[in-house]
Copies of this chain bind each other. A is one copy, B any other.
C-alpha cells in the first residue's frame, strides 16, 4: 500500500485523520468532484480506507458494499468504523459516513486471512485491442472533473450520443487506470469499480439523471496480486441486466495482466426518464 503521505491526488482524496477510537475525519477533494458532490468511487474508497487503517483490522478485504444514502456536500465528513465481529480468519466491518448529524453513506466490509486452496477461473477476459492502439478518452468541460484522474481507452460501448448507436446492448469494455499512474491497492480498485459510465448512457446514447444507490466489490486478488499489477491499466467490462421503473443494475469485471480476474463488482443505479 502507498504511504498515506503520497502526493497522488487519490491519496489526498481518501486521507483520513483519526479521531476518537473508531472515528475518522476527512474532506471531499475538488480533484474528484462529480456533478453533485464527490465521485462515488472515492467515497467508497474512503470508507474502505477507514477499515484498512483501523488498528484492529485483520487481513485484507474480500468483499465491500457501500450504500449512497444522500448527496454528499463539498467539505468535511466523519466516518465511524466498527469491527462488529472478529473471527479467527474473518472480520466484519460496519461503517458509516456522516456530515453533521446526517448519514450520507453506509457500508459493510468483510476482511479475511486467505489460505491457498484449489483454484479455477470460470470466465474469460473480454476481447479488446491493446490500449495503445485505442485513443485515450479526452476530458472536456461537459464531463465531471473526477474523470481527469483516470485514463480510459474505450474498446466497446463508447458514448457517442448518436441515436443510431442506441439499438445495441449496454456492454462497455475499456482499459482503465489512475492518471497519473498509481500502484494498485484496495482503495484504488474500489474506486475503479465505480468508474464506468452509467449503463443507461451507453444503452440509450443520451444522458439522463442518474445516481448509484449501492455498489458491491468482491476482491479476488490479494495485495501481492495488486502489487504485481502495479500501474498497468486494467481491462474493465460492464453490462446491465435490466432497466425498470427507475433502477438498473450493473455487472462488471476488472481484469489485470496475465488474465488475472482481480475483482467483480455490481451496482444498482437510480435513473429518471
Is B94 in contact with A106, judged by CB distance below 8 angstroms?
Answer: yes
A92 to chain B: closest residue by CB: B69
Instruction: Report the bound CA distance from A139 to B33 in whole Å.
Output: 55
- Chain B contacts for A121, CB-based, 8 A: 241-243
Complex contacts, A143 vs chain B, CB 8 Å: none
CB-CB under 8 A for A213 and B62, given A92-B67, A245-B115, A246-B114: yes
CA distance A242 to B124 in the complex (A): 10
A44, chain B: closest CB distance, angstroms:
13
In addition to A121-B243, A249-B264, 14 A-B residue pairs with Cβ atoms within 8 Å of each other are: A69-B92, A70-B85, A84-B103, A85-B103, A112-B247, A114-B247, A117-B246, A121-B242, A122-B239, A122-B241, A123-B241, A216-B266, A220-B241, A220-B249
Residues 193 to 251 of chain A near chain B (Cβ within 8 Å): 199, 203-204, 213-214, 216, 218, 220, 222, 239-247, 249, 251
CA gap between A103 and B110 in the complex, in Å: 14
The 8 A-B pairs of least Cβ separation, nearest first, read A69-B85, A114-B245, A69-B92, A84-B103, A119-B244, A65-B65, A85-B103, A120-B243
Whether A11 sits at the interface, judged by CB under 8 Å, is no
Given that A120-B203, A241-B253 are known contacts, is A216 also in contact with B216, CB under 8 Å in the complex?
Answer: yes
Listed by A's residue number, 29 A-B pairs whose Cβ atoms lie within 8 Å are A63-B214, A63-B268, A65-B65, A65-B216, A70-B87, A84-B106, A85-B103, A94-B94, A94-B96, A108-B108, A108-B214, A110-B214, A110-B268, A112-B270, A117-B246, A117-B272, A118-B204, A119-B244, A120-B170, A122-B199, A122-B240, A123-B241, A214-B216, A216-B216, A218-B249, A218-B268, A220-B249, A241-B253, A249-B264
Q: Which of A62, A102, A272 has the most CB of B within 10 A?
A: A62
Most chain B Cβ neighbours within 10 Å, of A70, A116, A244, A266: A244
**Chain B residues with CB below 8 A from A214, complex form:** 63, 65, 108, 110, 216
Known contacts A239-B122, A266-B266: does B92 contact A103 (CB below 8 Å)? Answer: yes
- Asked if A246 contacts B115 (CB within 8 A), the reply is yes
Task: Write out, one digit per residue, whether chain A residues 87-107 have a CB within 8 A of any chain B CB (1) or not (0).
Answer: 100101010100000111011
